[in-house]
Amino acid sequence: MSRRKVSPSEALALVHEGYTYVDVRTESEFADGHPAGAINVPWLKDGPIDPEPNEAFLETMTASFDRSARLVVGCKAGARSAKACDALEAAGFTAVVEQRAGFDGTRGTFGEIVEPGWKRCGLPVAT
């Protein structure tokens, strides 16, 4: 079965239906702005030079949520959220939805925005 992937607007509708938005960007990215009401469980953590793997990601998720919890997972542009969704599904989470455009948007070969993300869609943002 393939994972459900939704646009930012569809993700907001799911949040209104009771899904929890899990933002998997780093803590510093999250602090700069995030979907209103989102919680932050970073897939990568801020490192001294570059982001580093967050070895506690699954431990944090399983301690925070039942495996049947309805989750929308998003990042900046879609790559980290896809990996986080893979890991969650492998760990037995059954209601994971991927927000495919992330907070900023997916980009094409030359850096152009292909699909606008949460912020570019004008959806509610918190800091």
- How far, in whole angstroms, is CA 98 from its chain's centroid? 7
Asked about 85 being catalytic, the answer comes back as: no
**Into how many domains does the chain fold?**
1
pLDDT in tens, 6-44: 999 999 999 999 999 999 999 999 999 999 999 999 999
Count of C-beta atoms within a 10 Å radius of residue 29: 21
| CATH code: domain of residue 116 | 3.40.250.10
pLDDT tens, 61-120?
A: 999 999 999 999 999 999 999 999 999 999 999 999 999 999 999 999 999 999 999 999
Domain boundaries, position 8: 4-126
Question: CB neighbours of 58 closer than 8 A, spacing ≥ 6?
Answer: 87, 88, 91
Q: Which of 75, 82, 88, 97 is catalytic?
A: 75
Nearest to 105 by CA among 83, 85, 72, 78: 78
> What is the predicted pLDDT for the residue at 2?
81
**At CA 73, angle to CA 70 and CA 11, rounded to 5?**
75
pLDDT value of position 40: 99
